Amino acid sequence: MAKKMGVGLVGYKFMGKSHSNAYRQVGHFFPDMPIIPEMTALCGRDEVNVKQAASDMGWKGYETDWKKLVTRKDIGLIDVSTPGDSHASIAIAAAGEGKHVFCEKPLANTLTEARAMAEAVKKNGVVGMVNFNYRRVPAVQLAKRLIQDGRIGKIYHWRAVYLQDWIMDPNFPLVWRLQKDIAGAGTLGDLGAHSIDLARMLVGEIAEVTGMTETFIKKRPLLAGTTGGLGAAASAEMGEVTVDDAALFMTRFANGAVGTFEATRFANGRRNYNSFEINGSKGSIVFNLERMNELQVLFNDDAADVQGFRTILVTEGVHPYMSAWWPAGHIIGWEHTFTHGVYDLMNGIDKGVSPEPTFEDGVRCQAVLDAIEKSASSKQWVNPEY
């Protein structure tokens, strides 16, 4: 019989809703889990709003102070779904109380913070996992298997873009994601971190980077309130944008491959275009999150008269996670990646092993982000400080 573990989630808005949905659904679709997460308490500073959110999303109770949450005896897992400026303090305190930690990406706002978080998890013998959820798209997992099986041969090129357009309006307000002291970085950390993590998983360690960043809108109206999701209302007063709107960088991988990356929130018409292409000696792979159930592949050993990119609908039960969902051909969505992450996390906690991406993976991603910012400032190639 499966054990149960109480979960305390800090943060109840965009990511909090996504994580809450995963905790609600995972036991219904993955009944083989050795540990079932119990939605024990939701935490947020605004008592009226967090109380309502807890009721709406199925939590048993709520707290208004994360310091109290991490000491509760009925909670074994702390989920950190807050802005980056509080990741380190919450995660380190939770690990010190013997709690396992599930943390939103990027792991921290600085490399120093990320290292301290990884050390806290290791020192206290708890499981730590970073929610780079795109690792758990079945099509991405298929790409990983094809690479590991040698189907596309030696990798030469990684080419990634992560494009959005939700802050193009200069009257869009100064939300926390546009403030460096809260977010740590702008598009680079919010979107580029995903591409870096996928590149590390699929191609290998990044040895050297050179990059540039740009802020197109320097001042914006101050925030008057949020309207759900990524929406926000503006006030009449203006404030300074202190993060990048776009980041472009090149990399050399330790295995000899080269990579290009672009992350921007100013790509008009691109809502959430997270795409990568991998070119190898025997074939190529293309993925686009906006068509997340599909993977394009090309193999050189196909007969000449049928050689070319083919599109695979990755919904068969032979692919990771898919047997838990619907019949073949019935697609899944963005929210399912969070459910897959919780499933893997619970199995990891049962075994006492941190599932990938671990906090150490988070540190290595943070080292690349740090190197890109240094490169953008110095206009030189920089080695990440792993």
> What are the tens digits of pLDDT across the range 325-363?
999 999 999 999 999 999 999 999 999 999 999 999 999
- Could you tell me the two tokens for 219? 């001042």
Say how far apart CA 347 and CA 202 lie, in whole Å: 23
In DSSP terms, 239 is beta-bridged to: 220
| Helix (H/G/I), strand (E/B), else coil: 319 | coil
> Long-range contacts made by residues 89-92, C-beta under 8 angstroms, separation at least 24?
90/10, 90/66, 91/117, 91/120, 91/121, 91/128, 92/116, 92/117, 92/120
| Per-residue pLDDT at 158 | 99
pTM over 0.85: yes
- 6-19: average pLDDT: 97
Instruction: Determine how many CB atoms are found less than 10 A away from the CB of residue 229.
Output: 10
Give the burial string for 130-141 (b: 16+ CB within 10 Å, else e): bbbbbbbbbbbb
The stretch 21-29 carries a mean pLDDT of 98
Q: What's the confidence (pLDDT) of residue 2? A: 87
Full set of structural domains in the chain with CATH: 3-134 (3.40.50.720), 138-291+293-330+365-378 (3.30.360.10)
Tell me the pLDDT tens digit for each residue of 244-287: 999 999 999 999 999 999 999 999 999 999 999 999 999 999 99
| Euclidean distance between CA atoms 122 and 359, whole angstroms | 9
39-94 tens-digit pLDDT: 999 999 999 999 999 999 999 999 999 999 999 999 999 999 999 999 999 999 99
Q: Over 70: is that where the pLDDT of 297 sits?
A: yes
Residue 234: pLDDT band (50, 70, 90) is confident
CA 132 from centre of chain: 3
Return the closest-CA partner of residue 81 out of 20, 162, 5, 4: 20
Least Cα distance to 366 among 109, 36, 144 occurs for 109
- Phi, psi angles (nearest 5°) of residue 54: -60, -40
Residue type, 291: R
* 126 CB-near residues (< 8 Å, 6+ apart): 95, 98, 99, 100, 101
- The amino acid occupying position 159 is R
Average pLDDT over residues 179-201: 97
Most distant CA pair in the chain, distance: 66
Contact yes or no for 8/70 (Cβ under 8 A): yes
DSSP percent split of the chain into helix, strand, coil, nearest 5: 35, 30, 35
Read off the amino acid at residue 332: I
DSSP tag of 192 = I
Q: Does residue 231 have a pLDDT over 80?
A: no
Residue 33 and residue 271: Cα distance in Å, rounded? 34
Cα–Cα distance between 175 and 223 in angstroms, integer?
6
User: HSE on the CB side for 275, CA within 13 Å?
Assistant: 15
**CA distance linking residue 228 with residue 167, whole number of Å:** 15
User: What was the pLDDT predicted at 225?
Assistant: 72
What is the model's pLDDT at position 228?
Answer: 65
For the segment 40-54, what is each residue's pLDDT rounded down to a tens digit?
999 999 999 999 999
In angstroms, the CA 335 to CA 17 distance is: 10
Q: How far apart are CA 365 and CA 107, in angstroms?
A: 8
258-264 and 100-104: which strand pairing? unpaired
> Is residue 301 a contact partner of residue 285, using CB atoms and an 8 Å limit?
no
SS3 235: strand
**Residue written as token pair 């048993």:** 60
DSSP 291: G
Q: What residue has token string 């609908």?
A: 313
Report the pLDDT value the prediction gives residue 229, as an integer from 0 to 100.
Answer: 67
Per the prediction, the chain carries an average pLDDT of: 96
